[in-house]
Structures are given as structure tokens and as C-alpha cells.
Structure 1
């Protein structure tokens, strides 16, 4: 196994380990209060492993292969022992996997079992990304004293609920996740590619309630739930752990990405910790959900290991942000950082964008056709996201663009971004999608952040308030700031059929085109609001 150890060291860019001689105890049996047995693997140095600080990982994604190497072997070679548990109903653990519903009770029972084991020692650190981070929040208010730190990455305490906003149904991420959990792991590259193509085609299914069958050949309860129940539905009772966040009494280090699907909720959780006076820090890099670098591992080996040993972790600012455009890290005291004030950039006639008051002008118009929906290009997506060239997207007739003149100095934007778009549709149901872009000296337009809101009563002129993803970005001198306005980003968001019919119903097969209007005049001043350093 030593070649794997050396490979992991190179790939993760880590210092040499304390030892490469580790052992794995497979399929440890962990009884739950209802007599269901969950399985776990324990990684430890062959010599002296008992009593070392313990990393606890609870996962639905298995315990072997790359998961075992990165989460098990790497920490076990560097001062920890590790326990990786398969959650209920996954990879040999008993019971039925009912996503997120069993993690509170099973998580508390797991902690109780772990601290009673003779090899456990006096220190436990909770670690993991995405679902593996969510399970940490599920127990954060009832941690035993042995738990010394939490390191939740690319995650948040309510998880699915951000996708289910009544004013904007995210489709691609929860659908793909539900399908992946319903399908067996593909064997072979060709079968994997075929499975991927089938999932992508299934998103075009009408009615959308049949997309799970199109992708998997069977009904998938989780997918049916996301189509049927919005975030306020009682169906999701017990899955929201936001109220537990301020009660987390141990230090928490969160790692997120500017294009991660869970970023707004992760920032919300950090703010709740800071407001409660907890020891918390936040790191956000230029990552998507699928391409995080070695930062969480480094946090575990510095922040986590120090606390597990009763030491102070290395000093740093509470907030560390990768400022895109500048391509450099910056340290800040809080989120949002102090010193950044909102500056309105108004949409202007002729596709202009400026801080000046909007001029008298007629509205801009475009046709939105849900049979040829405006595509998602980059952005906050589980796969295929991040910074992408938007030049081709901006040539579509259903995408409006508004652009500043060439900047004569750098403009730094750090914080929460929003837009106010005066809008009217020929249909009572419509979406407004707004994207902030950076246009370089060659004319290449790259996405920075974006957001969508779904409107009812859209056939009446109204001001649509759009919450974009948070960001930290430096627009360089010689570049231009651009805003896109459209009515979709499919399949990241479900296409709006213009009918108001729930996508879960069997009759949701009709797609209606819509004539859209965007207003930008003194009485209806559409604008994007950017938190800028030094703005007045």
C-alpha cells in the first residue's frame, strides 16, 4: 500500500507522513438503539494507534477506494486514527437509506458508541464535506466532551432546502444526487458514460415527475419529494438543523467555494456561529463542489490536530477569502467584510451599465422559449460549474447584456450581491436570472456570480429582487463589468413553463413562450448592487 501513500502525498501536496505503516479494521459493527447495525472501518498506525485523536467520518458514499485513502489513510499516517462509518442503508450498513432523516438519531448514537471504545482516547474531530458535513450539524448541539472540533466543508445545516425555494426550484443538483443514490455504481467507462447521458436526457422529460423513471427505470422517492414539496413543507421536518448551529460549543472551521452549490447556507451558518460568540473561521476558495483542493486536509492536520491535542491552532484571521480576478488570498475579520459599501450600477439604454442615474428609455425585450431554454453555463453547479467563457451564451437572443465602459482603475467587489430588475412578462409566471460577468481586454466574458427568482403575477410590472451568489472579485483596470439578464439557466434551475402548473403533476406537459420586458428608466431603475471597497 505504500505506493498509494506516496501518490496521495503528491496529489494532495502534503509533507511526508509520520508513518506509512497503517492497518485497517474492516466492518466494525455498531449497534443503533433500534438494533440496526451500521458498519465502519478503523484506520490507525500499526504501532501506537490506540488512544490517538480520532477523526470521525459518517458517509453514504462508501469506505474504500479513494474515500478510504483520503479520509482514512492520509490522517492515520499523520497523527490520527480514523473511523469511517457507512450511514444507515448504505454500503453494508443495515436499515434503509432515507436521505437526511436518520442522521440526528444515528449520529448521536454513533458518538455515544465511539467514546466508549477502549481505543478511542480523549479527543474526537468531526470531518467531512457535503453530506459528510451535514451530518456534523445534525448533532452539533449535543456533542460529548471528547469532541474538540468540527470541520464541515462544502455543506450547510439545511442542505436540500436551498434547492426548494418557492421562488426558484433548483433542479440539476438534487435530481442528479437522487438518481446517483438510486443507481448502482457503474462498472466500466462506457456504462458510466451511458448512465450520464441517460441522466442528462431525463431532465428534458415532460412531465418532470417522470424524469426519475426515465433516468433509473424506477420511482425515486427523494426526487418525487423535491418536485412536490417546497422548503416550507412539513415533509422536510427534522432535516433543518439551522437552529443547532449557534449551540455548537466546539471550534468550527468551514471550507467553501465561490461556485459551490451550498455556499449561501455555509456563510449563514458561519454568521450564526460568530453572532453566538463561538470560535469559528471560514475559508472560501475559487472552487466548485467537485473540485476542492487539499485545503480541508490541511485544516484537519493543523486546526483539527492542534485542538485534539489541547493546543492552540495556528493564528489566522476568522475569514480567509480567495479574491478572484486578483487571484490571491485575503484575510478579513467577518462576513460580510467591513469597508465594502453597496454601489448601484444601473442598466442603461443601448446595453450600457453605469453608476449614473438611468436615462429615459424604452424597455428591452426578448422572447423566452421553454422548449429551447436558456442554458446554464458554469456557475454554482455540482459538475461543470465554475468560471466559464460566456461569449457564446451572450449571443443568444434570449440573453440581454449591459456593460460598463473600460475601467480606468481596479474595482474590488466583496460581499453579498443583489439585483433589482423592473420586469414584465406576457405570462403570469416567469423567471428572472441575473449574472455578473468580467469582460477582459479581448472581449471574453467570464461569469462571476448569479442568481434566479421565480415570479407569480409576472404579467404585472414589478421590481424583481434577485439574490446572487456571494463573491470576492477584483475587476482589473482595462476590463469591463457586465450584467446578463435572462429567464433561465437550464438544467441548473427547472425551466419555467409559463403555466404555473406544478412540475410534479401529470398534466405539466405544456410549455408556453413568453415575451419579456426589462425596464431601465428614472421611474423604474433596474440595477445590480455591488459591495465595493471605498464606495459611497
Structure 2
């Protein structure tokens, strides 16, 4: 359930399908929501929230970013990206958002009803459209509230050598089919999940979109062809300009969001440039309704105050939900100071301890791409099963190693970047390494806290560093820490087939035998920013 600030009116007006012609002659369509009355303030002086969306003006997002904000005393201009829901041109993901966004703001400046300050708002792709114009935003833009997003959006999913299959496949399906009859209902009921799951089993990966849609998706093929470092994306990557943004920014994200790490980096870039940004991180996953409510609250409280020329209510720059104890806490910075690094060593027999490893044989397991280690919970675009989940069924598999600490004698508070250093050997030229930190309660239930996966080209005994997603979590007294080590998390990440073929076109499957070393010369460990 959403927790929104109270409405000031239930009487709102909406003008639909307003044409906005941009520089190259394409006409975008927009809806204008407004409160019917404004308690003595001229309507044209009310702040305006600009939302630019590739997902259309209807559904829950349309209600939340349209009517719900208008009921709280602000104009809303909801603009549909080109090529979507009646806007002219062709939708090319992440393309044109800078030029179309700046043209929209120029158009807005000429409207007689929009003489108040402007707030940029929106979630996920909507949030990316904010970053696309942020560094060049005109003076009437007084605030922006990016939620579950990144200044480079999909590029965060395109690390060299690996492919975030689940997110990219689901996004392509959603955007390709969203204008079909009953598409929203089918999505909410999960009626197409079997079709998407079947497509994700396709090899090579270049055939996934054709198996799913019956034709190629240009965007899907681009993501396979060009990783995040390729100059191909230079005009769509706005991360280098984040420090130049002078508009006040309040970022909202969740500990289980797919863009968490990038959004924290955007915040740090603003802070390093002296921009005094705000950051809120809750216990949310992508599209979690509670996170949506927090974003709307920042728009109508903090953003609206700045748009009116007022000083917002004071609060700390960083507000984090500390999981495990269910508490909101305020900090001066990210990452917070006062959390020195603790090394917890992987030990033989599945132990996890603070001391230096004695001589011990390696732990071994086998990864078979024909029976890939499944992904359970964690960051997901699809609303089916994201976030913290019971990992006990996963941990029973022979291809998942677990290393578990003794029972904690006192609470252990972990806040910041969690890192794993793992020494391994493998008998194939390529493998993946997935590391996950879990909280094991008194009943033995194992809940995922944070994780990540890297692709490895092993060269004999190889040291591998895995930066798990950041977290804020208290492991309670009586609980235990657990580290999972495996070689995959499918379909969240595409299978590593173990050969020398390129990821996008690989079809030959190889079974990989792996050894995890944990002796005095190879002290595999997880590094926790922690205090008791």
C-alpha cells in the first residue's frame, strides 16, 4: 500500500493528448493534470511536475504521477516518449531523450498556466529522462527526484563478459507488447512469464528476442553487441555530467533495486561536486509500491517547497533503512563513516570465521549449464519473486557452496560496500563466480542480503574480487552469517557456457569443475564494513 502525503483536493482536471513539437518536427503527446482549486494561490503560480515516460499515461504509474500529484496541489505534465502511445517517431530506447526533454521544457516555459517552478520526477526509465536533461536544465527547473534509476540506465546491466538476461529480456517484452489490448492486465497476472522463461533458455543469446517476439529487437541486439564501455553508447551515458548538475537532487532507491549501485555512484558524484544532494534507501525492490510512495512524498514535500522558493524541512543528507532491525537512520554521507572492515574467512568444512585459515584442502563443486544454478530473490525487474527470499532450497544444491559463521554473540551492524576476495581454480577457460551474503536465523532460515556475479578468465590459481551490492543490515545476536559461492544465477544472469566463444553467440555447452581455495596462502574471505 502507498503511503502518500494527504491530498489537498480531490477535484482535478486533465487535458489529454496535448501536442508538443520538438526540434526535428516530431510531435509528442502529453497530458496536463491540475488541481481544480488552489486555496487562494493563482493556478499558474503552482509548481509543475514534469514526467516523461516510455510506458504511457495510464495504469498505476499514470495514476500516481498524474492524478495523485495533482490532488496534492501541483500541475503535472506527463509526456510520452517518441514512438509510444501516440507520440510521433520511432521509440529507440535511451535515444532522443535529451533533445526531446529540453524541447519539452522550452515548450512548457511558454505556457500561461506554468509560471511556477518545475520539478522533474519519475521512476526507472522516467528517472533516466531526468538525467538526460539535468546538466542543461533551464532555470525554471528547481528540483529533481530520480527514483530507482541511473544516469546511464541500461548500461549498468552491460558489464563486459556477462549479460543480465532476466532484466533485459523482460524489459524488451514489456516495451514491445505494452500497447496491445489487455497488456497491463496480462503483466499484472503474470500470464506471459512462461513464454519469457522459455525464450531465456534459447541459445545463442542472439536468438532470445526472436524466440520471444518473433522478430529481432534492435535494442536487445545492441545490448549484446556493445558493453557499457563501448563508445557506441556515448550519447546515452550521462554519468560523466552528473557532477555538473546544479539542480537540487533527492535520489530514492532500494536495497534490492537493479540500479542501486549506479544510483549510489550518482549520489557520490553530486556530493563530491559540492551539490548537497539527498539520498533515501529503503528495503525495496524495483517497482515496490512503498518505494514509489516515498518518491512521490519527496516530490510533493521537498520538491514542491523548492519550486515555490521555500526552504524544505531540514533532514540529514542520507537516510537509510537498516534491515534486520527495521529502523530508519540518518547519516552525513554515503558510505557512512565508522564502519571499519572486518574479514570473515571461508574455511574448510563450510565454516566462516574471523581467524587466518590453517592449511586445508579446497572446496569443490561442478557447474553444468544444462542444469544451471537458479537465481532466487535479489534485484529483479520482474515483480515475481524479487527481494529477500528463503535460500534454503537453493543451498541444498550440489553446485552451491555455503560457509556459515558460529552463532553471533552480539548484534553485528553492516553498512556500506560488501566485498568478497576469492581464490579459485577451474578447468575451463571461462567461468562465472556468484557470491551472496545471507542472514541465517535461529530456525535455520537463510535470507539473502546482497550479492553479485563476475565473469572470470582463470589462469591457474586466480584471485577474484566481487563487489557485492551495498547494504545496511544488522545481523542479530543468535543469528549466523552465511556466504554462498556458486558459478551462476540463471536467468538473472545468462549462463556461462565455459568455452571461448563470444557470450552473445556461444552455443557449445561445457561442464566446469571449480575449486575454491581457502588456506594461508589463499585467504578467501568476505569483507564487511561493520561494527558490533
Q: Aligned partners of 1:516 and 1:149: how far apart in 2?
A: 50
What residue is the counterpart of 2:19 in the other structure? 29
Number of matched pairs: 521
Deviations 1:342-382 (A, max 9, x none): 11100011110011001110001101000010000001111
What residue is the counterpart of 2:407 in the other structure? 406
Q: Aligned partners of 1:17 and 1:194: how far apart in 2?
A: 35
Please, which runs of 5 or more residues in structure 1 have no aligned partner? 1-10
Q: Equivalent of 1:20, from 4, 10, 19?
A: 10
Q: Aligned partners of 2:5 and 2:435: how far apart in 1?
A: 43
Q: How does 1:304-323 map to 2 (within 5 A)?
A: 304-323=303-322
Q: Aligned partners of 1:153 and 1:228: how far apart in 2?
A: 28
State yes or no: 1:157 paired with 2:128.
no
Q: How does 1:369-408 map to 2 (within 5 A)?
A: 369-383=368-382, 384-408=385-409
What residue is the counterpart of 1:451 in the other structure? 452
Q: Aligned partners of 2:178 and 2:69: how far apart in 1?
A: 29
Q: How does 1:117-266 map to 2 (within 5 A)?
A: 117-185=111-179, 187-188=181-182, 193-266=190-263
Q: Aligned partners of 2:465 and 2:335: how far apart in 1?
A: 19
- Structure 1 segments, 4+ long, off by >6 Å, are none
Deviations 1:10-58 (A, max 9, x none): x433354221111100111100011100000000122453331100000
Deviations 1:136-187 (A, max 9, x none): 1111111111111000000010111111111432111112111221224454
What residue is the counterpart of 1:515 in the other structure? 513
Query: What's the TM-score once normalised by structure 1's chain length?
Result: 0.95
What residue is the counterpart of 1:437 in the other structure? 438
State yes or no: 1:88 paired with 2:82.
yes
Deviations 1:224-244 (A, max 9, x none): 111121112232121110122
Displacement of 1:304: 0.8
State yes or no: 1:59 paired with 2:53.
yes
Say if 1:236 and 1:423 are closer, same or farther in 2 by CA, change over 3 A: same
Name the Cα RMSD after superposition.
1.4
Query: What's the TM-score once normalised by structure 2's chain length?
Result: 0.96
Please, which runs of 5 or more residues in structure 2 have no aligned partner? none
Q: Aligned partners of 2:214 and 2:178: how far apart in 1?
A: 12
8 Å CA contact 1:427, 1:459 repeated in 2: no
Q: Aligned partners of 2:186 and 2:380: how far apart in 1?
A: 24
Higher mean alpha-carbon deviation, 89-98 vs 244-253, is at 244-253
State yes or no: 1:348 paired with 2:347.
yes
Say if 1:124 and 1:15 are closer, same or farther in 2 by CA, change over 3 A: closer
8 Å CA contact 1:138, 1:244 repeated in 2: no
What residue is the counterpart of 1:3 in the other structure? none
Q: Aligned partners of 1:247 and 1:292: how far apart in 2?
A: 31
What residue is the counterpart of 1:480 in the other structure? 480
Deviations 1:308-351 (A, max 9, x none): 11111111110000000011111111011000111110001111
Q: How does 1:273-292 map to 2 (within 5 A)?
A: 273-292=270-289
Q: How does 1:43-82 map to 2 (within 5 A)?
A: 43-47=33-37, 48-82=42-76
Q: Aligned partners of 1:529 and 1:27: how far apart in 2?
A: 53
Higher mean alpha-carbon deviation, 187-196 vs 38-47, is at 187-196
What residue is the counterpart of 1:8 in the other structure? none
8 Å CA contact 2:85, 2:179 repeated in 1: no
Q: Aligned partners of 1:61 and 1:488: how far apart in 2?
A: 32
Deviations 1:198-248 (A, max 9, x none): 111100001121111111111101111111211122321211101221111
Displacement of 1:459: 5.0
Deviations 1:442-498 (A, max 9, x none): 011000000111011x25211011010000000000000000000000011111000
